[in-house]
C-alpha cells in the first residue's frame, strides 16, 4: 500500500501545478458517503469548486470540523487541503447546494431490499430535490449504482414534471473505486464510463475529468448499457472470488495448493492475477448488494442468471469455512474464548457492510463462544451491530487468554505480529489464518497449531509457501 500512497501524493502535487491551466466547474455531489466524499474531494483536487451535500446534518457538521466519518487512506489530508483552498465545501442545505452548481452528481446509497432489489428511495428523494430546486441548466450525473434502465426512467419522470428540456441533461457515470484505495482509484481510474445520448452532456462530463493525471480510456455508451457495465463488472469479480474460494476448498480436500494455482493462473493474461486470493468470503457494500440486484433484475425479466446466483450461494458457504477449520483444531466451541482479528470486509477500510465477520460472530455466539475482537478502523461500526462483544485496544489485548484466534483481514499490522509475544498471551496457541498472512515457519517455531484456507487442508501445512511467490509479493493479489 505504501508505494501507492507515495505515488498518489506525488501525482496530487503534479495535478496541483497544472490544474490552473484548465477551466473548472461548480459541482454539487449529493450524498457524502464513501463514494460522494471521495469523488467530491478528488474533483476539488483536480481544480473544480465542489459542494458535498448530505441530508445527514450531523455528518456534515463533523466533516466541516475536520472529523472524517470514514477511514480511507490520505482522505483526511486531502479534504483539509482543499477546504483551505476554498474549493471544497460541505453543506446540509440541499436546495442551496443544487442552486449553486452547474453539475449535480448523485452519489446516494442504493442498498438491497429484502428481496435483493435495489432500494431507490434515496435516489428518488435526491431527484425530487433537484426537480424542486433547479434554477438554470444542470447536468445531472448518476454516479450511484442503479438498476439497468433507471436513468431512462428518471429522465421520463423529470420530463413529465415539466422541467423544460433545455434546463437539464441526465447521464449515467458509474463509479468503480475500491474502498481502501479509493483516492488512488478515483484519480487513476482504469476507465471512465459515460452513459449519454446527448452531445452537450458528453462534452461537459469529459471536460470535468480532463485534469486527471493520466490519459484514461473513456467509454461513451447509452445510459442503460452504462448501468449494466457497473453490474457486470462487480458481479464478474464476485464470481471470480467465489470460484477461487471453492477451488481453495477443493484444494483443502485434495492436498493441492491454491496460492500456487492462483499464481500460475494469474500469469495467463486472459485471467490476470487480481482477485484470486481465497478467503472467508466477499463482503462490502458492493459485491453482495449488486449481485443480489442483478439476480433480482434477471428474475424480473425471466432471464436465468445462474452463475451469479451460484457465486452468492458459494459465498454464504464460504463464511462457514473459518469455523469448520476452527472446530477441526479445538473441537466444541461452547465456553471457549475466541479472538477475531479484522472486522471490516477487508483491510484498509472501516466498512463492515456484509462483512464475513458479521456471520462468523453470529455463528460463534450461537455455539456458545465468547468473543474478543480488534480491528484498526472498523470497531466503531461493528459496535453498532454487536455492542455486547469485547472490543480491544490492540491485537495483543484481543489475543490475551483466548483458546484460538481467527484472522479475517490482511492488515499489515496483523502479519507483523510478534508471534512469540502473542503465544505467551494466549491460553492456547491456535490460529485460523483466513488470508495467509502469517508466516508458517514462524507459527511452527513458536509452537502454534494453525489452519489456513486452500493450502492442502492439513494442520500446519506450509508446503505451498516454499513454492509460492505470493509470500514475497503478497500485494500483487490484493
Minimum distance, C-beta of residue 107 to ligand NAD, in the bound complex (Å): 5
> In the chain, what's the furthest Cα-to-Cα distance?
74
110 is a contact residue toward ligand NAD (CB under 6 A): yes
Q: Which of 42, 186, 286, 434 is catalytic?
A: 286
Q: Residues 8, 28, 91, 145: which binds ligand NAD (CB under 6 A)? A: 145
Beta carbon nearer to ligand NAD, 93 or 458: 93
Minimum distance, C-beta of residue 28 to ligand NAD, in the bound complex (Å): 10
Minimum distance, C-beta of residue 239 to ligand NAD, in the bound complex (Å): 18
Beta carbon nearer to ligand NAD, 295 or 468: 295
Q: Using CB atoms, what's the residue nearest to ligand NAD?
A: 33
286 is a contact residue toward ligand NAD (CB under 6 A): yes
What is the C-alpha separation between 155 and 106, in angstroms, rounded? 14
Give the x/- contact pattern for ligand NAD in 16-35, rule: CB under 6 A.
--------------xxxxxx
What is the C-alpha separation between 48 and 105, in angstroms, rounded? 13
Quote the Cα angle for 80-86-92, to 5°.
80
Phi, psi of 305 (to 5 degrees): -135, 70
Give the x/- contact pattern for ligand NAD in 229-268, rule: CB under 6 A.
----------------------------------------
Q: Which three cell numbers stand for residue 341?
A: 482479528
Beta carbon nearer to ligand NAD, 59 or 296: 59
Minimum distance, C-beta of residue 19 to ligand NAD, in the bound complex (Å): 24
55 is a contact residue toward ligand NAD (CB under 6 A): yes
What is the C-alpha separation between 245 and 262, in angstroms, rounded? 11
Q: Residues 27, 42, 46, 107: which binds ligand NAD (CB under 6 A)? A: 107
Eight-state DSSP code of residue 157? H
Size of the site for ligand NAD (CB under 6 A): 27
Residues in the chain: 478
**Angle of helix 223-254 versus helix 258-266 axis, rounded to 10:** 140
Give the neighbor-by-neighbor strand order of the sheet with 404-407.
390-391, 370-374, 337-341, 404-407, 430-433, 449-452
Minimum distance, C-beta of residue 294 to ligand NAD, in the bound complex (Å): 12
Q: Which three cell numbers stand for residue 15?
A: 495535478
Minimum distance, C-beta of residue 36 to ligand NAD, in the bound complex (Å): 6
104 is a contact residue toward ligand NAD (CB under 6 A): no
The residues in 154-213 that bind ligand NAD, with binding defined as CB under 6 A, are: 175, 177, 179
The residues in 112-141 that bind ligand NAD, with binding defined as CB under 6 A, are: 122, 125-126
Minimum distance, C-beta of residue 125 to ligand NAD, in the bound complex (Å): 4
Beta carbon nearer to ligand NAD, 142 or 438: 142
Eight-state DSSP code of residue 144? S
- DSSP string across 20-70: GGS---EEEEE--SHHHHHHHHHHHHTT-EEEEE-S-HHHHHHHHTT--SS
Beta carbon nearer to ligand NAD, 107 or 261: 107
Beta carbon nearer to ligand NAD, 142 or 248: 142
Output the CA torsion 142→144→146→152 (10° steps).
0
Residue 74 near residue 181, CB atoms below 8 Å: no
Distance of CA 234 to the CA centre of its chain: 11
Beta carbon nearer to ligand NAD, 111 or 423: 111
Would residue 387 be called left, alpha or beta, if left means φ above 0 and alpha means ψ between -120 and 50 degrees?
alpha
Residue 270 near residue 264, CB atoms below 8 Å: no
Minimum distance, C-beta of residue 402 to ligand NAD, in the bound complex (Å): 32
54 is a contact residue toward ligand NAD (CB under 6 A): yes
Specify the stretch interacting with ligand NAD by CB under 6 A; choose among 20-28, 48-56, 196-204, 317-325: 48-56
Q: Residues 49, 150, 285, 348: which binds ligand NAD (CB under 6 A)? A: 285
Minimum distance, C-beta of residue 355 to ligand NAD, in the bound complex (Å): 13
What residues contact 300, with CB distance under 8 A and at least 6 apart?
none
The residues in 323-342 that bind ligand NAD, with binding defined as CB under 6 A, are: none
Beta carbon nearer to ligand NAD, 70 or 239: 70
Q: Residues 108, 341, 358, 382: which binds ligand NAD (CB under 6 A)? A: 108
109 is a contact residue toward ligand NAD (CB under 6 A): yes
The kind and range of the H/E element at 142 are strand 138-142
Q: DSSP 3-state assignment of 99? A: helix
Beta carbon nearer to ligand NAD, 70 or 361: 70
What is the C-alpha separation between 167 and 151, in angstroms, rounded? 17
Closest CA to 171 of 204, 147, 216: 204
Residue 354 near residue 285, CB atoms below 8 Å: yes
- For the chain, the first-to-last Cα distance in angstroms comes to 10
Mark whether 286 is an active-site residue. yes
Q: What is the binding site for ligand NAD (CB under 6 A)?
A: 30-36, 53-56, 59, 94, 107-110, 122, 125-126, 144-145, 175, 177, 179, 285-286
Positions marked active-site: 286
Amino acid at each position: 500500500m505504501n508505494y501507492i500512497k507515495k505515488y498518489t501524493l506525488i501525482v496530487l502535487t503534479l495535478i496541483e501545478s497544472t490544474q490552473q491551466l484548465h477551466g473548472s466547474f461548480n459541482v454539487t455531489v449529493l450524498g457524502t458517503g464513501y463514494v460522494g466524499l471521495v469523488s467530491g474531494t478528488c474533483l476539488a483536487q483536480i481544480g473544480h469548486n465542489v459542494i458535498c451535500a448530505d441530508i445527514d446534518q450531523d455528518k456534515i457538521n463533523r466533516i466541516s470540523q475536520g472529523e472524517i466519518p470514514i477511514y480511507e487512506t490520505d482522505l483526511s489530508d486531502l479534504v483539509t487541503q482543499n477546504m483551505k483552498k476554498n474549493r471544497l465545501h460541505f453543506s446540509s442545505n440541499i436546495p442551496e447546494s443544487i442552486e449553486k452548481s452547474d453539475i449535480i452528481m448523485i452519489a446516494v446509497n442504493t442498498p438491497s431490499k429484502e428481496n435483493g432489489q435495489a432500494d431507490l428511495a434515496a435516489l428518488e428523494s435526491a431527484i425530487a430535490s433537484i426537480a424542486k430546486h433547479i434554477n438554470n441548466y444542470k447536468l445531472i450525473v448518476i454516479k450511484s449504482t442503479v438498476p439497468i434502465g433507471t436513468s431512462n426512467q428518471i429522465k421520463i419522470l423529470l420530463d413529465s414534471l415539466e422541467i423544460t428540456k433545455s434546463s437539464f441533461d441526465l447521464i449515467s457515470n458509474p463509479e468503480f473505486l475500491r474502498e481502501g484505495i479509493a483516492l488512488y482509484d478515483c484519480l487513476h481510474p482504469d476507465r471512465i464510463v459515460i452513459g449519454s445520448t446527448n452531445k452537450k452532456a458528453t462534452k461537459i462530463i469529459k471536460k470535468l475529468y480532463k485534469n486527471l493525471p493520466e490519459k484514461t480510456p473513456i467509454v461513451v455508451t447509452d445510459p442503460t448499457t452504462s448501468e449494466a457495465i457497473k453490474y457486470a463488472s462487480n458481479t464478474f469479480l464476485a464470481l471470480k472470488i467465489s470460484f477461487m474460494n471453492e477451488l481453495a476448498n477443493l484444494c483443502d480436500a485434495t492436498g493441492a495448493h491454491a496460492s500456487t494455482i492462483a499464481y500460475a493462473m494469474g500469469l495467463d493474461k486472459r485471467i490476470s492475477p487480481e482477485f484470486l486470493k481465497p478467503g472467508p468470503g466477499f463482503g462490502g457494500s458492493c459485491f453482495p448488494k449488486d449481485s443480489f440486484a442483478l439476480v433480482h433484475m434477471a428474475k424480473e425479466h425471466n432471464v436465468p442468471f445462474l452463475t451469479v446466483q451460484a457465486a452468492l450461494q458459494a459465498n454464504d458457504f464460504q463464511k462457514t469455512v473459518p469455523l469448520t477449520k476452527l472446530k477441526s483444531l479445538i473441537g466444541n466451541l461452547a465456553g471457549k474464548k475466541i479472538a477475531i482479528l479484522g472486522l471490516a470486509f477487508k483491510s484498509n477500510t472501516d466498512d463492515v457492510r456484509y462483512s464475513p465477520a458479521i456471520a462468523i460472530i453470529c455463528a460463534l455466539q450461537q455455539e456458545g463462544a465468547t468473543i474478543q475482537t480488534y480491528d484498526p478502523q472498523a470497531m466503531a461500526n461493528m459496535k453498532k451491530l454487536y455492542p455486547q462483544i469485547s472490543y480491544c485496544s490492540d491485537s495483543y489485548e484481543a489475543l490475551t487468554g483466548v483458546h484460538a484466534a481467527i484472522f479475517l483481514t490482511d492488515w499489515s499490522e496483523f502479519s507483523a505480529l510478534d508471534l512469540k509475544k502473542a503465544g505467551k498471551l494466549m491460553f492456547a496457541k491456535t490460529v485460523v489464518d483466513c488470508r495467509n498472512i502469517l508466516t508458517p515457519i514462524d507459527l511452527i517455531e513458536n509452537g502454534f497449531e494453525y489452519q489456513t484456507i486452500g493450502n492442502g487442508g492439513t494442520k500446519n501445512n506450509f508446503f505451498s509457501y516454499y513454492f509460492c511467490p505470493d509470500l514475497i509479493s503478497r500485494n500483487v493479489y490484493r
